[in-house]
């Protein structure tokens, strides 16, 4: 899949049809990064609430009675800015995460398209899977581990992390680099399935909408609607993995021997419903998230195309 630039036309030394130059790949990395940064600034409060509810284990007993109560208590105790605690860690990771996601997807899907430039649904699923695994290993796992530790730290009586760099330094100092890669297996499973589902749905809907004309343009509203549907599908498809990943990356991660052990303990102690804890705030966040990021990505690509010639 990565022999991207080897197929050259015999005459003229040009790039073969449907191949992209190195500049084109950097173009999509840039577009993905810009889209990811804007999107996370808009949707972070719902991510914060989702994580709080997932960390609010029954054994404690529960601190929050639901989404509204979680927001109310957070604003009462920390002000509106409390809903943005941990934003820095997620923002620093969101930009490279989206860059890797869209960049890798473009590399893989470019090789999978047919002669007319059409990507079929199965190829979209596999390309999405590859993009999800890469973003999990390179960006998401360390980023999410720090984010969850920040948010979990706020629930303690004496918070010890004063900011992103201080938190990272403390985690590495006390736990080594392994401390930023807790829950790697769960994260790879979650991100891989996430992007596989999303790109499968997006590819299927785009192919249905375009019909026999692969060059038919999608307006932003259609792109947003398709993105929201893809986001909802991914939520219902892998929320259990998201719950396990969150527990494996929290401050109480030492209670679990492995991803499987974490899943079994949740099932035994809290029941099957616990695997869908935080689904409502996650559904709202993810639908908005995916819709926004696809709209922004497409618009950023259009804008960059005017000043950055890639063909």
> What confidence tier does 154 reach under pLDDT thresholds 50, 70, 90?
low
Q: Does the pLDDT value for residue 159 go beyond 80?
A: no
Are the C-beta atoms of 120 and 203 separated by less than 8 Å? yes
Nearest by Cα to 298 from 220, 196, 199, 203: 220
Are the C-beta atoms of 237 and 197 separated by less than 8 Å? yes
Report the alpha-carbon distance of residue 152 to residue 105 in Å, rounded: 33
123-146: per-residue pLDDT in tens? 999 999 999 999 999 988 887 787
Least confident of 2-6, 159-163, 217-221: 2-6
Are the C-beta atoms of 155 and 63 separated by less than 8 Å? yes
Which residue's structure tokens are 């914060």?
48
* 213: alpha, beta or left? (left if phi > 0; alpha if psi -120 to 50): beta
Q: Does the pLDDT value for residue 13 go beyond 90?
A: no
Q: Give, in order, the Cα–Cα distances in Å from 243 to each of 52, 67, 219.
A: 11, 16, 35
> What confidence tier does 48 reach under pLDDT thresholds 50, 70, 90?
confident
Q: Give, in order, the Cα–Cα distances in Å from 223 to each of 229, 283, 296.
A: 10, 18, 10
Residue 252 CB neighbour total at 10 angstroms = 12
| pLDDT at 223 (0 to 100) | 95
Report the alpha-carbon distance of residue 186 to residue 163 in Å, rounded: 26
80-120: per-residue pLDDT in tens? 888 888 787 678 778 999 999 999 999 899 899 988 888 99
- 183 secondary structure, DSSP code: T
Return mean pLDDT, the chain. Answer: 82
Report the alpha-carbon distance of residue 259 to residue 185 in Å, rounded: 7
Are the C-beta atoms of 91 and 163 separated by less than 8 Å? no
Q: Does the pLDDT value for residue 165 go beyond 50?
A: yes
Nearest by Cα to 311 from 24, 16, 10: 24
DSSP states of 44-92 as a string? HHHHHHHHHHHH--TTS--S-SSHHHHHHHHHHHH-GGGGGTTHHHHHH
226-276: per-residue pLDDT in tens? 999 999 999 988 888 888 877 887 777 788 888 889 999 999 988 888 888
184, burial (CB in 10 Å: exposed 0-12, middle 13-18, buried 19+):
buried
Least confident of 8-12, 79-83, 116-120, 213-217: 8-12
- Comparing 19 with 209, the larger pLDDT belongs to 209
């Amino acid at each position: 899949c990565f022999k991207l630039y080897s197929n050259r036309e015999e005459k003229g030394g040009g790039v073969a049809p449907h191949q992209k130059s190195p500049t084109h790949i950097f173009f999509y990395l840039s577009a993905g990064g810009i889209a990811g940064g804007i999107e996370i600034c808009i949707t972070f409060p719902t991510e914060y609430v989702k994580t709080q509810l997932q960390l609010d284990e029954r054994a404690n007993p529960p601190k929050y009675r639901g989404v509204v109560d979680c927001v109310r208590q957070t604003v009462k105790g920390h002000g509106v800015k409390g809903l943005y605690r941990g934003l820095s860690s997620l923002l620093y990771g969101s930009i490279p995460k989206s860059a890797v996601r869209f960049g890798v997807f473009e590399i893989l899907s470019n090789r999978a398209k047919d002669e007319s430039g059409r990507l079929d649904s199965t190829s979209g699923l596999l390309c999405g899977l590859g993009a999800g695994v890469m973003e999990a290993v390179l960006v998401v796992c360390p980023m999410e581990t720090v984010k969850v530790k920040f948010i979990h730290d706020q629930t303690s009586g004496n918070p010890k992390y004063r900011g992103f760099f201080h938190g990272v330094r403390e985690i590495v100092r006390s736990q080594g680099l392994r401390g930023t890669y807790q829950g790697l297996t769960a994260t790879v499973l979650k991100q891989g399935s996430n992007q596989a589902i999303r790109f499968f749905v997006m590819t299927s809907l785009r192919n249905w909408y375009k019909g026999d004309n692969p060059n038919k343009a999608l307006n932003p509203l259609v792109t947003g609607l398709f993105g929201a549907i893809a986001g909802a599908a991914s939520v219902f498809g892998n929320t259990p993995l998201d719950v396990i990943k969150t527990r494996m990356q929290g401050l109480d991660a030492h209670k679990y021997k492995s991803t499987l052990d974490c899943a079994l303990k949740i099932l035994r102690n809290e029941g099957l419903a616990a695997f869908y804890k935080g689904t409502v705030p996650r559904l709202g966040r993810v639908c908005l998230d995916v819709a926004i990021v696809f709209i922004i990505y497409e618009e950023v690509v259009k804008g960059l195309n005017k000043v950055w010639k890639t063909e």
